[in-house]
Chain A
Amino acid sequence: MPSFPRRLRVTGHVEIEFMSQVKDETPDMPAAPPQAGRRLHPLPIRVMHWINAIVMLVMITSGWGIYDDDVIIRGLHFSPFWRLGDWAAWSLNWHFAGMWFLGINGLIYLIYGFASGRLREKLLPIRPSDVVRTVIDTLHFKIAHEDITVYNAVQKLLYIVVILAGISQVVTGLAIWKPVQFSGLVWLFGGFQTARVLHFAGMAVIVGFLVVHVALALLVPRTLWAMVTGGPHLAVRSRIRKGHAQRGHAT
């Protein structure tokens, strides 16, 4: 099969991935920078992402089981289908078991993210004008996703919001789990019941994020696959991206 004409026909991103594969086999490529071979999602990120994905589902669905014994919003119940644990005792056991995995995994993620510079590199800066432009583009169904290694402004914002929501869930969770030992936290949130409502609201934020996040990942399965295999190699990526961008300007 002739590879050259085929390559001409393929779209930008496939070409990029093709070239990044070539890179591994071509000895006369320029010497790679020190972080060459670093993938979009390094192994620790992938492991922590999938642990978090499972634990989040456990926390959300077991939380719904706990919620149902004394609802916050009158009339809002979660049917047994959506609850983890066949009744409150086991929903609580799931929730307090998941708590350890969520807390420890999340803490390591934050330490890793700050220490490696990944959080800053991926999520900052966010310019309000970029947010507005991305929203307008999205409303016109112009969702740019050729380059999955760079997040648009709305993505950055959503990831920051969900990380903050996760931290908030741990803190409000501690407040309602130990309102005497951590009475300072309860005071900070304006009382036990307020902390409880905030814990519920944090769940709603995370579920909202989850719906968008999963929908987009399924729309662009490449992103989902990247969170399994690691995705494109970054050093090569950025070099090619420059060329890609220049071509874009020329047209």
Chain B
Amino acid sequence: MRSPFRPDAVPDAAVLDDHKPLVRTLERRGLIRGGLSLGALVMLTGCDVKRPEAVESALLALSRLTDDVQALLFNPNRLAPTYPASMILRPPKFNAYYDVMDVKPVDGATWRLDLSGLIADKHPWTLSQLQALPRSSMVIKHICVEGWSYIGGWTGVPLRVFLERVGADLRAKYVAFKTADDYPSSIDMATALHPQTLLATQYGGDPLADPFGYPVRLRMATKLGYKNPKWITAIEVTNTYPGGYWETKGFSWFAGL
């Protein structure tokens, strides 16, 4: 699989010529010396290295490799374990890059879901239109990258049903989301089509409460918590890597469970 992080356009060859003097100063000896001193530094300082650029790009390259392996490990037919409804945590755990007091509620009556990209019918959707689609429920474990977890019960339109209904190109690579809280996110198409990937509108049988993404949020049983955007306002199907809020800060993009 082609790395989703590989740029679509490569720099012009002339750029190399411009930097020829710089390239000449790169010595293998310097690399080895740098590597050794970095290694020593890592050991001595208890690893308080402020991410030199070379280390950062090496780590990101390995993270992309790990993402590719994660995509290979993802079995589209494997279902995440489910639990009885009696185990649902009420209310669910709130987590965002800001405090729960800073949540800005979204008005369901005026809410519209915008569509763009490789989608045949790009008409915006209203909440009642979305709720008229067939729904499905799941009681699954929410696992945060930090390590905590809880069991939640979610009901909504399977993303696959929605994408098929609007005529999305299901061979495209990415499904990207925009949200009311400025938390862009994106997932791979294989996960978008997984039966446990919902455009959730209910939690534990009740409409989503404001802090948890009313009116519509994404809920996947096969990805870490931070991959599930709340208060979704737009969906795009694309072949261009869209990234995401935490991904631009260094977190893994695939983040599959």
Binding site for B on A (CB under 8 A): 54, 57-58, 61-62, 66-67, 69-70, 72, 80-86, 88-90, 92-94, 96-97, 99-100, 178-181, 183, 186-187, 192-193, 196
Q: A70-B146, A100-B62, A181-B257 are in contact. Are A86 and B51 (CB under 8 A)?
A: yes
Pairs across A and B, CB under 8 Å, 11 listed: A69-B146, A70-B146, A80-B48, A81-B48, A84-B47, A89-B251, A90-B59, A93-B60, A99-B66, A180-B221, A180-B222
A107, B221: Cα distance in complex, Å: 31
Number of interface residues of B (CB under 8 A): 40
Q: Answer yes or no: B131 CB below 8 A from chain A CBs.
A: no
Closest to B56 in A: A90
Interface majority SS (helix, strand, loop, mixed), chain A: helix
Closest to A79 in B: B46
Interface majority SS (helix, strand, loop, mixed), chain B: loop
Q: Answer yes or no: B34 CB below 8 A from chain A CBs.
A: no
* A84 with B42: CB separation less than 8 A: yes
Closest to B75 in A: A181
Q: Answer yes or no: B141 CB below 8 A from chain A CBs.
A: yes
A90, B39: Cα distance in complex, Å: 17
- In order of increasing CB-CB distance, the 10 nearest A-B pairs are A89-B250, A84-B47, A69-B146, A70-B147, A97-B62, A70-B146, A180-B257, A93-B59, A81-B46, A180-B80
With a cutoff of 8 Å between Cβ atoms, the chain A residues found around residue B45 in the complex are 81
With a cutoff of 8 Å between Cβ atoms, the chain B residues found around residue A81 in the complex are 45-46, 48
A72, B146: Cα distance in complex, Å: 11
Q: Answer yes or no: B148 CB below 8 A from chain A CBs.
A: yes
Q: Answer yes or no: B92 CB below 8 A from chain A CBs.
A: no
* A193 with B62: CB separation less than 8 A: no
Query: Which of A67, A89, A180 meets B78, CB within 8 Å?
Result: A180
Q: Answer yes or no: B10 CB below 8 A from chain A CBs.
A: no
What's the least CB distance linking B227 to chain A, in Å? 13
Q: Answer yes or no: B137 CB below 8 A from chain A CBs.
A: no
Closest to B69 in A: A100
Q: A92-B145, A96-B66, A183-B80 are in contact. Are A178 and B42 (CB under 8 A)?
A: no
With a cutoff of 8 Å between Cβ atoms, the chain B residues found around residue A62 in the complex are 47
* B47 with A83: CB separation less than 8 A: yes
With a cutoff of 8 Å between Cβ atoms, the chain B residues found around residue A178 in the complex are 73, 256-257
Q: Answer yes or no: B241 CB below 8 A from chain A CBs.
A: no
Binding site for A on B (CB under 8 A): 39, 42-43, 45-48, 50-51, 56, 58-60, 62-63, 65-66, 73-75, 78, 80-81, 141, 143-149, 221-222, 246, 249-252, 256-257
* B80 with A93: CB separation less than 8 A: no
A93, B63: Cα distance in complex, Å: 6
* A88 with B146: CB separation less than 8 A: yes
What's the least CB distance linking B250 to chain A, in Å? 4
Closest to A81 in B: B46
* B250 with A90: CB separation less than 8 A: yes
A183, B222: Cα distance in complex, Å: 11
Closest to A57 in B: B43
With a cutoff of 8 Å between Cβ atoms, the chain A residues found around residue B252 in the complex are 92-93, 96
* A61 with B46: CB separation less than 8 A: yes
With a cutoff of 8 Å between Cβ atoms, the chain A residues found around residue B50 in the complex are 86
With a cutoff of 8 Å between Cβ atoms, the chain A residues found around residue B63 in the complex are 93, 96-97
* B43 with A196: CB separation less than 8 A: no
Query: Which of A70, A72, A183 meets B144, CB within 8 Å?
Result: A70
* B250 with A96: CB separation less than 8 A: no
Instruction: Beyond A86-B51, A178-B73, list 7 extra A-B contacts (CB 8 Å).
Output: A69-B146, A93-B59, A97-B59, A100-B66, A178-B256, A179-B257, A180-B80
A186, B147: Cα distance in complex, Å: 14
* A94 with B143: CB separation less than 8 A: no
Closest to B221 in A: A180
A84, B56: Cα distance in complex, Å: 13
What's the least CB distance linking A86 to chain B, in Å? 6
A136, B170: Cα distance in complex, Å: 69
A86, B148: Cα distance in complex, Å: 21
With a cutoff of 8 Å between Cβ atoms, the chain B residues found around residue A57 in the complex are 42-43
A90, B66: Cα distance in complex, Å: 14
Closest to A177 in B: B257
With a cutoff of 8 Å between Cβ atoms, the chain B residues found around residue A54 in the complex are 39
Closest to B148 in A: A70
* B78 with A96: CB separation less than 8 A: no
* A181 with B256: CB separation less than 8 A: yes
Closest to A61 in B: B47
